[in-house]
Structure 1
Amino acid sequence: MNRPIRNVAVAAIVMVIALLANATWIQVFRAEDLRDDTRNTRVQLDEYSRQRGVIVASDGTVLAESVPTDNKFKYLRQYPASGNPKAFAPITGFFARYQSDPRGLEVAENSVLNGNDDRLFTQRFMDMFSGRDPRGGNVVTTIDPKLQRVAYRELVNSDCDGPCRGAVVALEPSSGKILALASTPSYDPNTLATQDFTKAAAAWKAINAVDDVHSPLINRAIGSLYPPGSTFKVISTATALSSGLNADTRLTAASRWTLPGSDATLSNDSGSTCPDSTGGTVSLTQAFQYSCNTAFAQLLTQKVPGDKVSQFKSTASDFGIGDDTADIPLDVSESSVGDIGDDLAALGQSAIGQRDVRLTVLQNAMIAATVANGGVRMQPYLVDKLQTADLRTIATTAPTTLNRPLTAAEATTITDMMIKSEQHTRGAQSGIASKTGTAEHSDQAEGGETPYAWYIAFSPSSNSRIAVAVMVENGAQGQNAYGGVVAAPIGRAVMNAYTGGAR
């Protein structure tokens, strides 16, 4: 072979190899990115031509469904108005051109809903064999639709400075089932799922024009972290009990207390002395029911024996703070006690749920549920089961025990304290064990901020059916937006809607 022919042959081989390499790169390594690109109209047509599976509540109420159309897209995703789509949007998310962000079950369970999940192979084969349009699988949630509507309604109608920003989570303590997961403000997913893409783009632009503080796309139940304030005294009390202290341990009743190794001080609410003191001290039970900050700072920094910081962090970890076990399967932000180091002053501030302690509303609901469940912590979950289009079950979520942060006796002790705490809360109701929290969250030099209002509670019976956590960011009372004033009425309304208690 002469040189010119050899050069042409080599060039041809190189080009063939380059062509194969490029095809391999696109079809193997870039396939997912190209498929998910919102500009890929072929993928859009393919997705909309499928009868996507339904998302339903625990009683079968349809939260999301695909309905036939007479256009090229074949199916339109809808979120039934009878189910109040805004109430359920934090759970369902939305299926639309603008679905790149991981929000809701539409994204978390996308492979099941669109029919691509390997567990739906038999269904895909039968649909192809019968000539039927491809169908997706169904997602059955643990959500109680009545409870979800009540939680959303109570949040929306709460007394807030402007539209309420907050969240409610309700759990079944014995199983970990999520009964309600509400967040406000919310949005109507139908405005994004419409096939009038001009209107959908306008709705998307309007939603994203809202700043990060007020955005309705924020799922405040699982995606935002807040200082828990005095609700975190449940963890501090658990630390004390596990270290050998008891409900009668005597603590300072002083209105103000200097933190160890620091010039900083902590004070009780309104600078008052802890009520019912004897000789300048109160019991741990009294300190809990009256939520006395100075007593809890002393409890953790002086009374707990041994390595106080390690014990505090270990107890918090046992309750799930700082781990990733809260995948439900939606992404949940990781709660944390922050970096305390060996600083006892920082420990004292953390003991009352301030400084760098940050929790999701779901995490605080898990804390209440663990106490309600006799000290046993369950894995929370939102999806009860997955089904084929013909309702054959392909996966079921079984209740999973994670660990036991409290002994049964310790759980009973904290329950008794929470019952007393409820009775010292405005609007107290019998049959409830609770703890309120009013959390500062900024360093305003002149004060005046509206605190985060918290309420965690459960029904203290032999068969505790529900535990709740409520958080409201912007109560209308300003500095006086206490947890017992703003959040407690919401939590009680949700519990009563479930248990049939007082209205």
Structure 2
Amino acid sequence: MNPALRRMGVIALILLLALMAQSTWVSFFHHDDYEGLINARSLNAEYEVPRGQILAGGTVIAESIPTDGGSYGYQRNYPEGDYFGNITGFKSINYGASNLEAEENSLLNGTSSLLAFDDFWATLLKENKPGGNVVTTLDPELQKAAYDAIADADVKGGAVVIDPKTGRILAQASYPGWNPTEVSSNNGETAEDAKIALDESGDMLDLTRQEFFPPGSTFKTIVSAAYIENGGKADDMVPAGNGYTAPDTDHEITNSSDQCPNEEYTLEEAFAKSCNTTFAKLCVEELTTEQITEMTEAFGFGEAYETPLETVASRTGDLSEEAFRAQACIGQQEVRETVLQNALIAATIANGGERMAPQVVSELTDSEGNTVQKFSEDDLGRSIDLDTAQELEILMAAVVDEGTGRTADIDGYDVYGKTGTAEHSEDGENPDPDHGWFHGFAKDKDGEPAVAVCVFLDSYGEGASSKAAEISGMLMEQVLEGADE
């Protein structure tokens, strides 16, 4: 071989080995330094263009606005404040993203494959590509009405309003709310102070889906469904009385105000009066553990819904002992339910027994508002027979017409529901005020199911379920009147 070529080959080999050694050294010993530099460049690039909007109807609930100088060109802003924080979440340089900002991050920041056409033109024109938009199913005025109603009740709580035919969530309000703007600030000190305050207050917890509570007498809707599915009817005579002691226990189950003195009533009457003794006895003497469990699962207990926001799964707890079942079937013991799940039970009955998947995103668009993905309804299957749903309508109509849920009544419309009052204190001497619940639905003037709702008031105390029913009626009326305009 030519000596000159040989020398060149040796030099090239030495240089290659040196390059490999340097690359190995950097990868193993200085990886963090270079990763930080790469991430910083990526972050700078992400904040050089506007992130997409999140919308409720025509209302912008999350947007990017230009900054006045600094390292980043844009900053995240939430113009509707506390009303939608539980839905949008935050997008922070310091803390990442949460809720829809996290679930739809690739679409919002423009990296989604759904925006490939935009990416092509941005590359061709040598322009930065803005992110796409997320359009929610929420009605902004209904969301605000739900939030304000709970705020006026002066307790923590949540409300979910659903279209029973499609599963689309029209409102999902959690109070107290929170404004994601400061925690999303590009100013590190501002963001840190806001995040610490939110962590301490717990206000970022969505009470409609990230927490569950004893449902009280609203659970009697499921017990009634199990009884009817196994051959019962609304006009069946069922046991009652103002006191019942389950087997192997000395604890007497009573009614809230001795409202069920007769030894028996029709199921319709017992449901309207909310006789605890009736439903405790049914779950001990008429229904098996398997029948109760099958019904709860058919309605969605045990499922972590994704709307795409994840929901904790509701549960019944241990039903193996008769004493446990007696308490569970009046919505106590270990039964725990989310507000979203309780709204879905009402929506399923309204929809003739078909359970629709709850959804909070309607469509995704590009930066110009052109649809790149539209979400259709998803049928989760039949929870109960149509005949059972119709029998449950009889029970739930009686609650609003002449029972415990009369404050939910809406003039000119057929309204159905069930109230619930739940004890939840571990201190027998100084018990916390009771929770208040209402779940139900209403039909439009054509007799079609138009809206389903659940309202939960945390530790409201006396009159809790009546207040929850009142708020529910107001929200359903807003939907019905809007549809009839």
Distance 1:18 1:370, change over 3 A: farther
Distance 1:17 1:401, change over 3 A: farther
Q: Tell me which moved more, 124-133 or 353-362.
A: 124-133
2:132 maps to which of 130, 137, 155? 137
The residue number in structure 2 matching 1:274 is 260
The residue number in structure 1 matching 2:478 is 497
On the 8 A contact 1:253/1:273 being kept in 2, the answer is no
Give, as a single letter, the amino acid of the residue that structure 1 aligns with 2:90: F
Q: Tell me which moved more, 181-190 or 14-23.
A: 14-23
How do residues 22-421 of structure 1 correspond to structure 2 at under 5 angstroms?
23=27, 41-57=40-56, 59-71=57-69, 72-80=71-79, 84-100=80-96, 103-158=98-153, 160=154, 164-210=155-201, 215-270=202-257, 272-274=258-260, 277=262, 280-304=263-287, 308-324=288-304, 326-340=305-319, 342-421=320-399
Q: Tell me which moved more, 119-128 or 286-295.
A: 119-128
CA distance in 1, matches of 2:438, 2:252: 26
The residue number in structure 2 matching 1:4 is none
CA distance in 2, matches of 1:127, 1:78: 25
CA distance in 2, matches of 1:269, 1:249: 23
On the 8 A contact 1:319/1:367 being kept in 2, the answer is yes
On the 8 A contact 2:91/2:98 being kept in 1, the answer is no
The superposition leaves residues 166-208 of structure 1 with CA deviations (integer Å, 9 ceiling, x where unpaired) of: 0000000000000001001111122222333322222222222
Give, as a single letter, the amino acid of the residue that structure 2 aligns with 1:335: S
The residue number in structure 1 matching 2:418 is 435
Off by >4 Å, runs of 4+ in structure 1: 12-22, 24-27
Give, as a single letter, the amino acid of the residue that structure 2 aligns with 1:249: D
Q: Percent identity?
A: 34
Deviation at 1:259, TM superposition (A): 0.9
The superposition leaves residues 53-89 of structure 1 with CA deviations (integer Å, 9 ceiling, x where unpaired) of: 11111x3211111122342311121112xxx321111
Deviation at 1:388, TM superposition (A): 1.4
Gaps of at least 5 residues in structure 2 are 1-12
Distance 1:177 1:428, change over 3 A: closer
Gaps of at least 5 residues in structure 1 are 1-8
CA distance in 2, matches of 1:151, 1:456: 14
Deviation at 1:133, TM superposition (A): 1.7
CA distance in 2, matches of 1:357, 1:25: 53
Deviation at 1:358, TM superposition (A): 0.7
Give, as a single letter, the amino acid of the residue that structure 2 aligns with 1:301: V
Deviation at 1:15, TM superposition (A): 10
CA distance in 2, matches of 1:112, 1:344: 51
SS of 2:115 mapped into structure 1: helix
CA distance in 1, matches of 2:351, 2:108: 34
Q: Tell me which moved more, 331-340 or 102-111.
A: 102-111
Distance 1:200 1:228, change over 3 A: same
On the 8 A contact 1:90/1:103 being kept in 2, the answer is no
Distance 1:18 1:358, change over 3 A: farther
On the 8 A contact 1:124/1:135 being kept in 2, the answer is no
CA distance in 2, matches of 1:468, 1:41: 45
SS of 1:194 mapped into structure 2: coil
CA distance in 1, matches of 2:152, 2:225: 35
Give, as a single letter, the amino acid of the residue that structure 2 aligns with 1:144: D
CA distance in 2, matches of 1:133, 1:244: 65
The superposition leaves residues 293-332 of structure 1 with CA deviations (integer Å, 9 ceiling, x where unpaired) of: 110011121123xxx10010001000011123x2000111
Distance 1:393 1:445, change over 3 A: same
Deviation at 1:17, TM superposition (A): 7.2
SS of 1:466 mapped into structure 2: strand
Deviation at 1:409, TM superposition (A): 1.5
Deviation at 1:351, TM superposition (A): 0.9
Deviation at 1:224, TM superposition (A): 0.7
CA distance in 2, matches of 1:441, 1:234: 20
CA distance in 1, matches of 2:39, 2:417: 52
CA distance in 2, matches of 1:428, 1:121: 49
SS of 1:224 mapped into structure 2: coil
CA distance in 2, matches of 1:41, 1:385: 31
Q: Tell me which moved more, 39-48 or 252-261.
A: 39-48
The superposition leaves residues 269-291 of structure 1 with CA deviations (integer Å, 9 ceiling, x where unpaired) of: 13x1516x3xx211111110011
TM-score by length of 1: 0.86
TM-score by length of 2: 0.89
On the 8 A contact 2:299/2:383 being kept in 1, the answer is yes
Deviation at 1:155, TM superposition (A): 1.1
Deviation at 1:452, TM superposition (A): 1.2
On the 8 A contact 1:223/1:332 being kept in 2, the answer is yes
CA distance in 2, matches of 1:197, 1:255: 61
Deviation at 1:254, TM superposition (A): 1.4
Bigger CA radius of gyration: 2
CA distance in 2, matches of 1:283, 1:135: 62
On the 8 A contact 2:457/2:464 being kept in 1, the answer is no
Deviation at 1:473, TM superposition (A): 0.6
Deviation at 1:24, TM superposition (A): 9.0
How do residues 464-503 of structure 1 correspond to structure 2 at under 5 angstroms?
464-475=449-460, 478=461, 480-484=462-466, 486-500=467-481
On the 8 A contact 2:237/2:264 being kept in 1, the answer is yes
